[in-house]
Structure 1
């Protein structure tokens, strides 16, 4: 026992002994092991972060305003807000573990400061070793440590239960190994072992009075340790020991347990940089360096055709992408929400990140480098990346801010550079390069959809308008989506706002071909449109398609046109960045029309359509840009009875069309669109009474019309756009009621 605290205990001072039953030689060995542990830990952390320097520079400064970033990350991590997303039990579990662990760490640090700093400092200054680990401070310390330590043990216990008893499937996968077991069991043993040591100490320092064991009274604040001491005392006496023998046995066992606990703690700390526990450091660093607009925008590429932009080598990945790999906790949240994974496609977002990490570590250990991604890639198969829908569900669910889509896009760029892409995708690239649209149709026919309107649509190249309307490929060329375009045109006309389109100067926006790896063609399209925008006189841009909305709003302003100014392959004359300060408002049409409805520009007050409907949140409108309410307000304005699907808003399930899904062939158990329609009819509160499945995206319209056919739902539900509901309500007039709802589809307004 420490001489100072031993004297304190004997004189009735409220404190407890440190290094009780540990000899001076034992103390020396303890400090030696502590120094070795700290060295191994520090070296390992240094090696980890030094490895990131071998990756490429990231495309923007992720360390700007570092104090602000750290404060924001501390709030996110400390509140566990991402952990509670879609998993209340998991959130409670992680909160208990995090705050319990931090409290125990802080408590251990306080004790070390008292033993190794304060006492030595007071001895040097006053000639007498003093301690602050006494009295009320000690009592408060003991109470908090016992309470928070209990939460810690409970949290780890829940983790063990979920992993090994109830077997939460998302916690297991191809990368499950000894690291996972080491993390949870070592933490559990440290927590339980700490209480066991406390119980042995309380029992071992007790007195025997009148044939009974009497614990030191103030130790009652250590309520868990007190309980353990009671249990130990009862156990020892059950085996025939008298009270004095029970106290003596506690004193005998204490050093054995103390060293076991100390060595396990040293091993855990030393292992942190080399195994899964490193996520305690890397995850926080990942949150600090996160991109608030990750997924909404993607890193550009240099104009140099020889620049490293793909994934030919693991060192072509940026340092942030490597940090992403190390931050992964294998929790499987991304896997559980991935629609491609649920559809039976060959994609598990977690495995892609961990496969890259495993390959990097193998190369670092001397393994021969190989193709990272190819048709039969040793690391990632081409089919895996072709399966991604770019829906960003994985990123939204990730509690440690891993930017999956950035790494996925790098892999897709490598596939494109190698020419390892499906012929259907190559055909889309050719169509865009030669015709300016993904259909391969003539640009002169781009505005043919307007011919069936009973009014002329303004040419924004010739007249000043308030809204420059970017119609998009599918509303321009796809028969079903042309009906949507006409409905929207009627709405804008009815409201009295001035709007116009680019006619044959409008090309494909480039959003999805960028996400499947064709970056140079994307830049060419961006340059063309920025040139076109600058030749027009307008106030705002309005988009039919959420994909266009996202790329105009978040990605075009990031393009460094100046870098491509001298490139003869780029047929545009734009040298300055466009809209970086947001001087041009870019809006989705639902946002524009919601404002018109609010001021009753469409005369919808009192309108009631007698339909039971549900609404699907498009990924690029919802998860990408946090717009959830505008479409819903418009649906409510028609008087329809709106019922939410179980997976809605940021938890919405992708239609399957994003990330090139419209153009690629997949072998899947069930199409994402079929599953979503099944959910609408079976899992909403209204169930089979839902007659209309409402969308606000042309790609969603296409995918769900297909899913309605392939899933044999044609007689059960109709797919309609929000604009079609609105124009029906406008044309029906106030207080009008549509034909009785029977569940059978009715023709969409044309």
Structure 2
């Protein structure tokens, strides 16, 4: 084609790209260091599955748009090879002849390579055509459907135009060569009529051939002009696109795959453990964020999937993780020199401003319930929650700037070992008549430490759950003991509200005590206790086998150590606790337990399992008031009521929870609803949904019950106190 023009285009585009990228990379290098090279085999596996394989793009709630994205992504990956070929053609006539003539001597002499090239052409043609379908779908979606999660912007249409232009220009370029080949064939045979398209081109480049057929009436000269234009348009679009990537939302095309590779390899419920002795007190400025957290910002696609089931977004709180990502990203881009070199807007050395107050508002940082939906939905694995917790850590530990109502929670944990601040001497009152063995007394050894938790010890409703669980374990012959008055809070709420010092104090104290007692396995009835002890205590030497009470009960049912016989003829729906389900993947055990109870008709809410909707208590929000928007627990209970009503009367309208125009409509239901039970497996969820029942006047219709209570009520017992076990007796792990 023209080496001069091709070289000139590259000489202009590449330096601009390098300059832009140097600023972007420089910011990451200026941010806090973080190790992300552990477990390389797992990282490679996830990169193949979620990065190259695009597995999250086709999640159920966004299957169609996800599939369209996969079509575009596939074309983008395949066309990269063709683009390299076209640059080579721009520099070399020989390359032009080689890549546009399937009858070139090289392909004829190397039949195997020639066949691979033909297969590539076929794949390239098909995926390019499918990419045009995907682009058309997105134009229609943005223009007509206008989904709630998608931000309307000119940039999206520009990018769709770029992508479509790449595909069309490739077809034009290839089609012009088909026209030229057809004209050459006419001259060679002296015929007035020859087949409109060489058979090889029809088979190996079907859509290019169709383009050639459309260009045939124009004649060889006009087709050549169009083909040449298509060639240069293709190269210009590629280079323009390349330089547009680092300044727009499609930066994820460059950073997305690395971000997937560097994702955390542990549970999403595990937060980082800062070294307080080195004064790591959280994120004050953007330089206190890690380079991976910066890469997260670069990788946000603004797809809005994080909003679909986000409790704060759905209920009108000042937090969407998409907006947080964009606000922080653009602040970084606008102040690269400040971050890298310390020179502020006035080109003088000055300290960076704090994140809260410059890039983000305080109420945004405190709104998050840490439910994890945003991270579950994100196709490039952006870690939103840890970043907000780091900001809370600074606000609490350095600024002492936090919602006033959580001051009493911190004081309660510090002084009495529980967030209510109730007397430590009252911690075992719930079990006064049960004569429970205490770990460390003369009895034992015991298989499990039953960590009752603060709610199970002090909350009147949750005390019933504690007693029910004791009844079940005694009936099954489980070997367990409690810590009685020696039990203290595990520190979960303190950590997620930013008081890392208080959390680490509680964690170290508990681990030291439990290890000295020889604890090996722990039973919990609270998902927050479960998550903290299982995923976060190992950082302090607390390596225990941790089992949630729903998993334990399910195991006892499978082993036939307990039997359920009482019939409960009622409808029931189950609410997934975020810290049991989404953060730790425990979805099946609670449902298997409920299905084992005779007579229960279990119906699922639309927002369930991985799409479950938060009760509003996570991330320390249990202890904070909701002053903005509607209450999260009301939204969830409205869905409970609608689900039970729909189960009774299928003609009751049941809107799609992931509706493209207005997600979360199932939470807008205001009628009394159906009659039945909402089963829970978390004391926080129990409190929040119980409050919502009272607030909305549904006390006669809906009862909130922990799974443990339902099992205890349905369970056959062998007689005797507390499930047939003599008070004070030592239990074996299995019944005799």
TM-score between both structures, scaled by the size of structure 1? 0.83
**Secondary structure at 1:686's aligned position in 2?**
helix
Residue matched to 1:352: 324
- The answer on whether the counterparts of 2:297 and 2:326 sit within 8 Å (CA) in structure 1 is yes
Q: Please state if 1:617 is matched with 2:576.
A: yes
Which residue number corresponds to residue 647 of structure 2? 686
- Partner of residue 153, structure 1: 132
Cα deviation, residue 113, structure 1: 6.8
Aligned residue for 1:290, secondary structure, equals coil
Cα distance in 2 between the residues matched to 1:65 and 1:617: 30
Counterpart in the other structure of 1:450: 431
Is structure 2 residue 401 aligned with structure 1 residue 437? no
Equivalents in 1 of 2:115, 2:268: separation in Å? 52
Q: For 1:478 and 1:431, locate their aligned partners in 2 and report how far apart those are by CA, in whole Å.
A: 14
- Deviation per CA, 1:309-335, whole angstroms, max 9, x where unpaired? 322221111111101110111111112
Aligned to 1:13: none
The secondary structure found in structure 2 opposite 1:169 is coil
Q: Secondary structure at the match of 2:678?
A: strand
| Aligned position for 1:558 | 539
The whole-number CA distance in structure 2 between the counterparts of 1:286 and 1:527 is 33
Contact persistence 2:27–2:336 (CA under 8 A): no
Aligned-partner SS, 1:612? strand
Asked if the contact 2:449–2:519 (Cα under 8 Å) also holds between the matched residues in 1, the reply is yes
Identify the match of residue 36 of structure 2 among 39, 62, 67: 62
Q: Distance in 1 between matches of 2:331 and 2:712?
A: 55
Q: Indicate how the Cα distance of structure 1 residues 314 and 204 shifts in structure 2: closer, same or farther if over 3 A, else same.
A: same
1:104 to 79, 82, 106: 79
> 2-side partners of 1:624 and 1:289: how far apart?
19
Corresponding position of 2:167: 191
2:383 corresponds to which residue? Answer: 403
- What is the deviation of 1:732? 8.4
Shift of 1:182: 3.0
Q: Aligned-pair distance for 1:588?
A: 0.8
Separation in 1, partners of 2:585, 2:472: 24
Instruction: Give structure 2 stretches of 5+ with no counterpart.
Output: 99-103, 339-343, 346-350, 649-672, 720-736
| In 2: Cα distance, 1:197 partner to 1:503 partner | 79
Match of 1:316 among 278, 288, 295: 288
Corresponding residue SS for 2:630? coil
Write out aligned runs for 1:65-104 (5 A): 65-66=39-40, 69-85=43-59, 86-104=61-79
Structure 2 CA distance for partners of 1:495 and 1:68, relative to 1, 3 Å = closer
3-state SS of the aligned residue for 2:622?
coil
| 2:208 aligned to which of 225, 230, 233 | 225
Q: Residues 528-539 of structure 1 correspond to what in structure 2 (within 5 A)?
A: 528-539=509-520
1:117-147 CA-to-partner distances (Å, cap 9, x unmatched) read: 9969x99xxxxx9744996455434322211
Is 1:167 matched with 2:131?
A: no
Q: Deviations over 1:249-285 (max 9, x none)?
A: 2233333333223212221123333333321121111
Distance 1:302 1:249 in 2: 70
**Do structure 1's residue 325 and structure 2's residue 303 form an aligned pair?**
no
Number of residue equivalences:
662
Residue in 1 that maps onto 2:479: 498
Cα deviation, residue 370, structure 1? 6.3
The aligned counterpart of 1:564 is: none
| 1:487 equivalent in alignment to 2:447 | no
Secondary structure of 2:277 counterpart: coil
Aligned in 2, Cα 1:73/1:46: closer, same or farther, shift over 3 Å? farther
Task: Say if 2:321 is the partner of 1:340.
Answer: no
Shift of 1:592: 1.5
Instruction: Tell me, yes or no, if the aligned pair for 2:304 and 2:322 is still in contact at 8 Å.
Output: yes
Q: Tell me what 1:415 maps to.
A: 395
1:708 aligns with 2:683: no
Distance 1:669 1:165 in 2: 29
Shift of 1:530: 1.0
Q: 1:707 to 1:489 in 2, by over 3 A?
A: same
Partner residue, 1:671? 631
* Deviates further, 389-398 or 214-223: 214-223
Deviation at 1:194, TM superposition (A): 2.0
Counterparts of 2:127 and 2:252 in 1: how far apart (Å)? 22
Q: Deviations over 1:282-318 (max 9, x none)?
A: 111111111122532111122336x243222211111
Structure 2 residue 221 is the aligned partner of structure 1 residue 263 = no
Separation in 2, partners of 1:483, 1:726:
12
State which of 475, 479, 484 in structure 1 corresponds to 2:456: 475
Local SS of the residue matching 2:308: helix
Aligned equivalent of 1:251, options 214, 217, 224: 224
| Cα offset, 1:211, TM superposition | 7.2
Q: Please state whether the residue corresponding to 1:694 is helix, strand or coil.
A: strand
Greater Cα shift, 358-367 or 702-711: 358-367
Check the 8 A contact 1:491/1:602 in 2, yes or no: yes
The verdict on how the C-alpha distance between 1:46 and 1:71 changes in structure 2, with shifts beyond 3 A counting, is farther
CA-atom RMSD in angstroms:
2.8
Task: Name the stretch that deviates more: 205-214 or 247-256.
Answer: 205-214
Structure 1 position 384 matched with structure 2 position 360: no
State the match for 1:719 in structure 2.
704
TM-score by length of 2: 0.84
Q: Secondary structure at the match of 2:523?
A: strand
Residues 277-288 of structure 1: pairs in structure 2 closer than 5 A: 277-288=250-261
Contact residue 612 and residue 642 of structure 1 kept, 8 A = yes
> Equivalents in 2 of 1:169, 1:702: separation in Å?
31
Judge conservation of contact 2:6–2:90 (CA < 8 Å) in 1.
no
Q: How far apart in 2 are the matches of 1:263 and 1:113?
A: 14
Residue 119 of structure 2 aligns to a residue whose secondary structure is helix
CA shift, 1:594, in A, is 1.6
Instruction: Output the CA distance in 1 between the equivalents of 2:692 and 2:272.
Output: 33
Match of 2:196 in 1: 214
Contact 2:497 2:620 in 1 (8 A): yes
Q: Whose RCO is larger (CA < 8 A, sep 6+)?
A: 2
Residues 184 and 115 from structure 1, CA distance in 2 versus in 1: closer, same or farther, beyond 3 angstroms? Answer: closer
CA distance in 2, matches of 1:143, 1:338: 42
Q: Which residue of 2 aligns with 1:600?
A: 560
| Residue 258 of structure 2 is aligned to residue 273 of structure 1 | no
Q: What displacement does 1:479 show?
A: 1.1
Residue deviations 1:646-692 (CA, integer Å, cap 9, x gap): 11111111110111111111124432222222212213652555511
Q: Conserved in 1, the CA contact under 8 Å of 2:677 and 2:704?
A: yes
Unaligned ranges ≥5, structure 1: 1-18, 20-25, 124-128, 234-242, 560-576, 735-750
Tell me: CA distance 1:718–1:490, structure 2 relative to 1, closer, same or farther (3 Å). Answer: same
1:14 corresponding residue in structure 2 = none
Distance 2:211 2:554 in 1: 63
CA pair 696-67 structure 1, distance change in 2 beyond 3 A: closer
**Alpha-carbon distance in 1 for matches of 2:518, 2:121:** 71
Residues 96/198 of structure 1: CA separation in 2 closer, same or farther (3 Å cut): same
